[in-house]
Chains A and B, each alone.
Chain A
Amino acid sequence: MPARKRCVTGIEGLDAALNGGIPEGNVVLLSGACGTGKTTLGIEYLTYGAARGENGVYFSVTEPYEKLLENMRAFSFFTENLIEENKLFIIDVSLLYNRLGLLGEDRTIEDIDTLLWALIDTVRALHIKRAVIDSITAICSRLAQPSKIRELVFNLSRMFTHFGVTTLLISELAGSAGRYSTYDVEEAVSDGIILQEDVERMGNMMRTIQIIKMRGTAHSRAKYVMDLSTEGALMVPLLKWGLSGE
């Protein structure tokens, strides 16, 4: 079987752990608690692609456009030219809700279908190859019928994959061990899961990242320590004696 084409994330260490990158078209759950670096990873992933001719879109559900752009400006790898040249797009989903006439707090599955098609239309119209949805948890949280979450995530994944978009679905975790998503269904229908956590060693917290699953490629399952700076993310394997406390 020929090897699947890779979407190189540009995140040093992650591509090596993924054996070259995320298989193109995969929809990957990027899970972690608050402050573990999910947004930074998403921004670096999109920026790297946009600078190399792969259009990217950041669907922001939780942060307004200006605030997100301000965060992006802090990174040395980010240049506003990417936005001016229509290679990188930031879409404020709350504005999209308004434009679609979805004004209430709770959403029906029909509302979410409308949103889903709006996202798909955006991806098609802008020739998007990389997408980040921040966060899938926030979209699901407004669904009046939680039983429909599986359908929503499944349809979203299927359509984005169909259009060849390699997608990171950001999933906010409240800290339960052994879970990768708030509603437990997102992980089942996604092609991959990348887990970001905080690990404590002798009173100090370290950010870690681990690939739990990734369809279409062999990959490392080791836990890596991640450092976030204005130059982006860097990873190094967690020392084996680092967790036992011996």
Chain B
Amino acid sequence: MSEFENKLIDQFNMMPDYSITALFVDTDQYFPAITNTLFYTTEQREMGGGYVTITRPARAIMNKLLAQKIRIADTYFIDCISYMVGGASMASKQVVNLESPTMLETVLLKVDWAFRQIAAPQKFLFLDSVNALGIYNRDKILKEFLHVFINRLRARDIFSIMLVVGRGLPRDLEEILQMTCDETVDLRKKV
């Protein structure tokens, strides 16, 4: 296990049951971040969850997780990108496809849909990633969305991770995450 993975697992083990965390990682730690998060939530904590994917299509994420033998039978994917890029969207009961990552209210509604499908008593939500949402949405609406989204998750006691990859996020979006999340975990290398 790499130093990054050890640090991440240590951080997870310190997180309270229903916390909402902004997780900052470097771009080269993107896959270790998602596989370890999903391993922790689905295998260690036996949670069922919602996975909002904007960075990569659900199919790619699912293949990656399955290749790592991570159990995702009770994880539901909200795929905001496959449809828009014209790629093959997945016909699966575990995946809903959105037409565009600009349909932020529909993300909220589909997360509600995912939570209805989950069998496990404890639920998680993984947002992959805040940066990718920022490609398609202006800062004002994205800040509003994060504020609403995180507070909806808090109201439902959902263990949540908001993933931020790299250093390109505008300062005020980082501040919104710090303000609304319970924890901020920054595992980026010092520059």
Give residues in A with beta carbon < 8 Å to B: 201-204, 206, 225, 227, 229, 231, 234-242, 246
Contact between chains at B113 and A234 (CB < 8 Å): yes
Contact between chains at A204 and B113 (CB < 8 Å): no
Inter-chain contacts of A202 with B (CB < 8 A): 100, 102, 136
Question: With A227-B110, A239-B148 given, is the CB distance from A204 to B105 under 8 Å?
Answer: no
Q: Which of these, A206, A237, A240, A241, contacts B103 with CB under 8 Å?
A: A206
Inter-chain contacts of B109 with A (CB < 8 A): 225, 227, 234-236
A79 vs B83: C-alpha distance in the bound complex, in angstroms?
Answer: 32
A202 vs B99: C-alpha distance in the bound complex, in angstroms?
Answer: 11
Shortest Cβ distance from residue B94 to the other chain A in the assembled complex, whole angstroms: 15
Contact between chains at A227 and B106 (CB < 8 Å): yes
Contact between chains at B144 and A240 (CB < 8 Å): yes
Closest to A229 in B: B113
Interface positions of B from 76 to 99, Cβ below 8 Å from A: 99
Question: With A229-B113, A234-B109 given, is the CB distance from A204 to B141 under 8 Å?
Answer: no
A237 vs B106: C-alpha distance in the bound complex, in angstroms?
Answer: 10
Question: With A231-B113, A239-B145, A242-B141 given, is the CB distance from A204 to B104 under 8 Å?
Answer: no
Contact between chains at A204 and B116 (CB < 8 Å): no
Contact between chains at A246 and B140 (CB < 8 Å): yes
Shortest Cβ distance from residue B146 to the other chain A in the assembled complex, whole angstroms: 11
Give the total of B residues in contact with A, Cβ under 8 Å: 20
Contact between chains at A204 and B102 (CB < 8 Å): yes
Question: With A239-B141, A239-B148 given, is the CB distance from A204 to B112 under 8 Å?
Answer: no
Contact between chains at B112 and A234 (CB < 8 Å): yes
Contact with A along B165-181 (1 / 0, CB 8 A): 00000000000000000
Asked whether any CB of chain A lies closer than 8 Å to the CB of B108, the reply is yes
Known contacts A204-B99, A239-B104, A241-B140; 13 further A-B pairs (Cβ under 8 A): A206-B106, A227-B106, A227-B110, A229-B113, A231-B116, A234-B113, A235-B109, A236-B108, A237-B148, A239-B105, A241-B138, A242-B105, A242-B141
Inter-chain contacts of A225 with B (CB < 8 A): 105-106, 109
A204 vs B106: C-alpha distance in the bound complex, in angstroms?
Answer: 11
Closest to B105 in A: A225
Inter-chain contacts of B148 with A (CB < 8 A): 237, 239
A237 vs B152: C-alpha distance in the bound complex, in angstroms?
Answer: 12
Can you list 30 contacts pairing A with B, beta carbon distance less than 8 Å?
Answer: A201-B102, A201-B103, A202-B100, A202-B102, A203-B100, A204-B99, A206-B103, A206-B105, A206-B106, A225-B109, A227-B110, A227-B113, A229-B113, A231-B113, A234-B109, A235-B109, A236-B108, A236-B112, A237-B105, A239-B104, A239-B105, A239-B145, A239-B148, A240-B144, A241-B140, A241-B141, A241-B144, A242-B104, A246-B138, A246-B140
